[in-house]
Amino acid sequence: MDAVTDAYVAWKHSNPPSPPSSHPEYDFDISTIDLYTLERTVHILRDEHTEPSVALVRSGYLGNSPLNPSLAIALRTLELFHTLRLFKASFSVEAFAKVLCHSYKLPYRRGYRTALSDAFDIYLAILRNVDDRVTKELGHNSQDYQVKNSCPACCYELEGEPSVEISRMWVIDGNNSLKCIKGVNNRAVADTRVFASDYYLSPEFVNQFANEVKARRQDFDGGDNSDSDEDDGNETEADREGDPTDGAKDGDDGIDPKLAEILNSCTENWKASAKDESKKMWGVFEECGIFASACRHGFILWIVDMIESGELAKYPLAIVAKALEVFGGQWMLGYDIGCRFIRTILSSSLGQKFQDKKCRACVNAFHGYSHNIVCQQHNHPLSIPGMGLEDLETLERVFSASNQLASITRYMSSYRRHVFIDIYFRQWDQEKYQNLTRMIHNNYVQALDIIEQDGEAVQRMLQDLQITGHDLDAYFQDEVAHFRGLGTEAPEDLHAVAYVELLQKFRALSNEYEEASSSFRLRIPDNYTPLSATQQYGAALSETRKAETNRRRIGEQRDQALDELVGMEVQMGIPEGQRWLPGSPQYLQALQYMKKRKYQQALESLYKLVVQRLFELHRLNLSQTSYKMRTHISQALQKRSNAIRNAVRRYNTAATALEPPRPTLDWSKVSHFSFLDEFNILQDTRHSVFDKPWAQANIRDTMKRHRRVTRAREEIIRCNIELRRLHTSIIDEEHRFVKILKRLKHERSPNYGPVHEYITRRRGAHRLLMEQIQLTHDLPGFTGSKAPGVHKREDSAPIDLPSAAPDLDPDDATAQAALPKGKRFFFRSPQQLYWYSRALCAD
């Protein structure tokens, strides 16, 4: 392969190419496929020291086998197919083989497809060898270089940057589109090669976390399925591993137990559906998809194969382990079940390091709206300080594009599947790099628009309501506290109910004790007959013993109830001798509450579910959502709607049992309530929001706008940082390019051509990025620094960089005359470079 790679580099980058040496005895003719010339045969020059495969590459062809090729495919044809595959991932080898046959005016031949596939495999291996040489010359071959340097906006830290609460944001998620079928009858595939990629984490590394979490089978419904015997055959060790929400232990992370219970409920539906899907799928596929991670700008970080399983906890834990190893601290992880996954991390071996680095996890913006409102208040990006306007839905866009690979990778070998996935994501990263400034620019414009439009609206509303922004923040905190307490009873009510129940129990036991004590003395059996003295004595002794046992048992129960009653009185602060009597006001009030308690509990439960649903839909602004998206969200909220239906049924039962009966509810009307004003019956509940300022529609809208404005200001700060990082990295990289090309040219290295091609393409991307950076600098509301900064290097070694060109007045002759000669500058804009060039030419 090294000799073939050398021949390829010589063919592609030698100008003019050196003529190959030949010997008539070793020259040969071979059938060929060339889409550009449509030649059918070609004469190959070769000497006795050159292998046929090397001679073919020197002449611009690649054989279908390494030793005795019978067909040669032109390198330019393979290059065209590779280029098409870069931009159309679903374009298959078979489709291109049909194009070739059509161009040659031949019927489709499957042999051409096989030859093209094999040759393309070797062509890709040659390109990887060339890329390895280029990365080595550029110094890009260090460990984890791809993750540490692919996104300058995330990684290229500068000296003197403003401090931010969140150092970087990245996301993880699984996708089951890129599956791969098992061999027939579990037979091993003949292609046993292993592909190494900077993206992929090895199964050995991932399996280190296989035992971190065990599956909680009680979380799944339908465990005793009628077809469980069939499923048992497909269940493996993976089925006994937990998913990303199974590792949490109640109370193990300092979270309030009531809050933890609410947050845990967000993922119950996800777990059930995942289990149901696994019964139908995992037994068919070898790789069931990929679990991927990406930064907020879309650059791929790490990929893991989900092998014969769904989203097990070991996949995200392995990626989090790499992030804790490679990244700094204070990063934010986005995951559609992040509310519960963070507790899985904390209960794993990664928990201490995760806490030491002050890292966090949250839910994605769109997925977050299908979580309950308490989760949204704590884990939605809009509610988290420092998040800016980031939605963390990056991987949804990544997977939406990468799904086109599914049609060609489903029946590939594991090696080729990894090759094609690697090619796709490398091209994806290159395109993301070219569009990086456009993304930052669009974020900047969006933030400026929000600050201008929503900021003015918030200020007008604050003046009309005579409140401040701090009041809006206080309203939000009150809303958070309110929803955390939904469905709970007041402590004083609980104590009063328990006290009255003890009083009733004590009085009942006291009366029963008195009756038991006097039962033998006062009670004469109805069927009494005179007995002999001996009979009377024996019967009386037996009855006496039974009565005494019953009296002693009831007495012990009465004494126990009295002890509990005295303890309750001490806890409630009731003075001695002032025990509640059946006619006392406190007793009557508690008794009345007990009668309404079942109704009240049903009402509280219904209120909790309905208000959560209404506020979730209000936050989502459902009326302005498209029909398809609205349908998707409705399906996500279907489980809560079923819970509301059951709560309505319980409420109606309790309402009809009251004296007088309370009005009942119709489910068909409840399901269409649009906001709180239509749910007047909820005014009976103790947790009513009708007197809360944050429940008013205008204040709620102002609160949401206020948070968006706050996040927009944070986005401006982050964009300023990211734009300057990118600007600096471009200048520093250009300086390194000049030195590398000069060195390779001086050494007459054969790698000069491939490195020069890489740098040429990179410089083209840099020109595009600099133009967009200038557009962002010219925005009326731009507040960042227009000059590049200084890279914060891990070591203290100085780096020789050109200094910044000072500003030049094109009409100032004195300034033009003072221009230093023979000094290199970097220029912040094309306009600045133009005026310097004009002044120097005039001089």
Q: What is the pLDDT of residues 726-746, one digit of tens each?
A: 999 999 999 999 999 999 999
Count of residues making up the chain: 843
- Please state the domain extents for the chain: 2-138, 165-223+235-434, 436-484+696-788, 491-524+531-580, 596-686, 803-842
Side-chain half-sphere exposure of 665, counting CA atoms within 13 A: 29
Q: Write down the pLDDT at residue 194.
A: 86
Q: Tokens representing 69? A: 């090729």
Bridge partner residues of 361 (DSSP): 333
Distance (Å, whole) CA 41 – CA 54 = 18
SS3 202: coil
Give the pTM.
0.73
> What are the tens digits of pLDDT across the range 236-253?
555 567 778 776 654 445
Using the CB atoms, write b or e for 535-572: b if 16+ within 10 Å.
Answer: eeeeeeeeeeeebeebbeebbebbeebeeebeebbeee
Distance (Å, whole) CA 140 – CA 130 = 13
CA distances from 614 to 140, 375, 643, 666 (A): 53, 15, 14, 17
Among candidates 497, 695, 495, 704, which has minimal Cα distance to 607?
Answer: 695
By DSSP bridging, strand 41-44 and strand 360-362 are unpaired
Q: Are 482 and 488 in contact (CB under 8 A)?
A: no
> What are the tens digits of pLDDT across the range 459-474?
888 888 888 878 888 8
* Helical ranges in 185-293 per DSSP H: 203-206, 228-232, 257-264, 268-281
The burial class, CB within 10 Å (0-12 / 13-18 / 19+), for 219 is middle
DSSP-assigned letter for residue 211: T
Query: Mean pLDDT for each consecutive 10-residue tract of the chain (843 residues)?
Result: 92 76 83 94 88 90 87 95 93 94 92 91 95 94 91 93 92 88 66 86 91 64 39 50 68 54 58 47 73 95 88 91 93 89 89 93 81 77 90 90 88 89 95 95 95 88 82 79 60 63 74 69 54 55 71 79 74 72 71 63 66 54 49 56 74 73 67 46 51 73 86 94 95 94 92 95 94 94 92 58 55 56 60 62 53
* Helical ranges in 104-252 per DSSP H: 110-138, 145-149, 152-155, 203-206, 228-232
Q: Are 173 and 292 in contact (CB under 8 A)?
A: yes
Contacts of 4 (CB under 8 A, 6+ apart): 53, 54, 57, 122, 126
CA distances from 443 to 201, 228, 391, 449 (A): 32, 51, 11, 10
DSSP output for 40-99: SEEEE---TTS-HHHHHHHTTEEESSSSS-SEEEEHHHHHHHHHHHHH-TT--HHHHHHH
Q: Write down the pLDDT at residue 292.
A: 95
For residue 750, give the amino acid letter.
Answer: P
Q: Write down the pLDDT at residue 186.
A: 60
* Helical ranges in 435-490 per DSSP H: 436-465, 469-484
For residue 600, give the amino acid letter.
Answer: Q
Only one residue has tokens 């600098």, namely: 777
> What is the C-alpha radius of gyration for the chain, rounded to an integer number of angstroms?
38
Q: Write down the pLDDT at residue 622.
A: 46
The burial class, CB within 10 Å (0-12 / 13-18 / 19+), for 380 is buried
Q: Tokens representing 406? A: 């599914």
Distance (Å, whole) CA 52 – CA 55 = 5
